[in-house]
């Protein structure tokens, strides 16, 4: 047997007030007398009434929902970011609607679906939006901010770490510490983050006379870092320092070096990551890394969205925020005290998930 849903009309009749009074009672900030509010709340409780947020959104012409498009949500960095977005959106009276997409892929077809849900705005992370789709969102009046990504020539807002400068910073630190054979475990070639980190690192190394730098990898996963490190360290002239384009790959590289090859970190090999995910600070890794300024990036992203919801005609902005070098014990750098990092018994295969 189907139970009839209690409506605002039912509550209004039971409380002896108008339907608009019921609506104002459950709308934050709306004006209603205390006596009327008490009647409505008591009637709603007696009838088991729950306000319909979707119905309210139709009358207000906005939903207070922000779509978040994110790929590879099981990667350690993305749930960390997602939690912060959800919390901050709720603090300003909005809700998040998550859409998952294949990582590092164009999302035009998915965005056509997303827009059908009448989201007020879009945050796109770990995916790439085309210029055409950015224009379509602009015509639709839906503000878009790319988080930790950008697309040259697209009419869309973006908030990123200054990945080029971060790559240059890592290069300087490793050279200043006396490393001679430097390598890179890179991310996907079609993402602005991976491209810029590689550019900053390689450009600065070459400026300082290190022209024989090797690269391997091609993804930000633990497995990609593990396998790339095995190949790099199996060379006739293995590196004495590896910069990894993500912490996830760096953890894989460290485990490959220590547990499969018996290499001491940092005595025989320095490893530097990027992002500063929670696992980077675990004592078993103590990973030196570039900290992505997630809190500031989330705050800047929401500021851009809210500004453009208020003033849709505002021009798009591209914000670059500096990363910070976090010195721990996986790399021999000035000011870092070496700790005992003798390898454990050797492994035959990776022991971590993606």
Please tell me whether residues 181 and 126 are part of one structural domain: no
Residue 334 lies in a domain: no
CA distance 309 to 293: 24
Residue 98 lies in a domain: yes
Residue 338 lies in a domain: no
Residue 333 lies in a domain: no
- Which of 42, 60, 78 is the endpoint of a domain? 60
Residue 219 lies in a domain: yes
pLDDT digits (tens, 9 = 90+) for 133-162: 777 777 777 888 989 888 777 778 899 999
Residue 34 lies in a domain: yes
Task: Identify the residue with better confidence: 141 or 226.
Answer: 226
Please tell me whether residues 82 and 148 are part of one structural domain: yes
Please tell me whether residues 176 and 258 are part of one structural domain: yes
Q: Which of 81, 125, 85, 94 is nearest to 107 (CA)?
A: 125
SS3 107: coil
Task: Find the CATH number of the domain harbouring 28.
Answer: 1.10.260.40
Please tell me whether residues 184 and 277 are part of one structural domain: yes
Q: pTM, whole model, 2 decimals? A: 0.79
- Which of 272, 293, 314 is the endpoint of a domain? 293
Please tell me whether residues 139 and 78 are part of one structural domain: yes
Please tell me whether residues 32 and 47 are part of one structural domain: yes
Residue 350 lies in a domain: no
Contacts of 350 (CB under 8 A, 6+ apart): 222, 223, 226, 252, 255, 256
Task: Find the CATH number of the domain harbouring 231.
Answer: 3.40.50.2300
- Of the pLDDT bands very low, low, confident and very high (cuts 50, 70, 90), residue 314 is confident
The structural domain count of the chain equals: 3
| CA 184 to each of CA 161, 200, 213: distance values in angstroms, whole numbers, following the listed order | 19, 12, 8
Please tell me whether residues 184 and 283 are part of one structural domain: yes
Please tell me whether residues 176 and 272 are part of one structural domain: yes
Residue 353 is predicted with a pLDDT of 39
SS3 183: strand
Please tell me whether residues 47 and 72 are part of one structural domain: no
Containing structural domain, residue 43 = 8-60
Residue 339 is predicted with a pLDDT of 54
Please tell me whether residues 113 and 258 are part of one structural domain: no
Residue 329 lies in a domain: no
- What's the whole-number mean pLDDT along residues 197-218? 93
């Amino acid at each position: 047997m189907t139970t009839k849903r209690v409506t605002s009309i039912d509550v209004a009749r039971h409380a002896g007030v108008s339907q608009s009074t019921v609506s104002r009672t459950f709308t934050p900030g709306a004006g209603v007398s205390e006596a009327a509010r008490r009647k409505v709340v008591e009637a709603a409780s007696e009838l088991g009434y729950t306000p319909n947020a979707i119905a309210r959104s139709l009358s207000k012409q906005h939903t207070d929902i922000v779509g978040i498009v994110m790929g590879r949500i099981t990667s350690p960095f993305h749930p960390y970011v997602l939690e912060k977005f959800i919390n901050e959106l709720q603090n300003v009276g909005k809700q998040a609607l998550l859409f998952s997409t294949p990582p590092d892929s164009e999302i035009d077809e998915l965005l056509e679906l997303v827009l059908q849900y009448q989201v007020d705005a879009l945050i796109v992370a770990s995916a790439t939006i085309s210029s055409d789709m950015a224009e379509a969102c602009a015509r639709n009046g839906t503000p878009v901010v790319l988080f930790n990504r950008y697309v040259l020539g697209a009419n869309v807002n973006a908030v990123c770490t200054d990945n080029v400068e971060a790559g240059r910073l890592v290069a300087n630190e490793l050279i200043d510490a006396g490393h001679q054979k430097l390598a890179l475990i890179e991310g996907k070639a079609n993402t602005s983050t991976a491209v810029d980190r590689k550019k900053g690192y390689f450009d600065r190394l070459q400026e300082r006379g290190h022209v024989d730098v090797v690269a391997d990898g091609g993804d930000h996963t633990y497995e990609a870092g593990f396998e790339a490190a095995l190949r790099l360290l199996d060379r006739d002239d293995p590196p004495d320092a590896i910069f990894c384009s993500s912490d996830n790959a760096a953890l894989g590289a460290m485990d490959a070096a220590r547990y499969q090859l018996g290499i001491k970190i940092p005595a025989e090999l320095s490893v530097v990551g990027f992002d500063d995910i929670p696992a980077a600070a675990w004592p078993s890794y103590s990973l030196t890394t570039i900290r992505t300024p997630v809190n500031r990036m989330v705050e800047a992203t929401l500021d851009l969205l809210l500004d453009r919801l208020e003033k849709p005609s505002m021009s798009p902005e591209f914000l670059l925020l500096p990363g910070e070098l976090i010195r721990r014990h996986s790399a021999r750098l000035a000011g870092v005290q070496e700790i005992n990092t003798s390898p454990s018994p050797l492994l035959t295969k990776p022991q971590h998930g993606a």
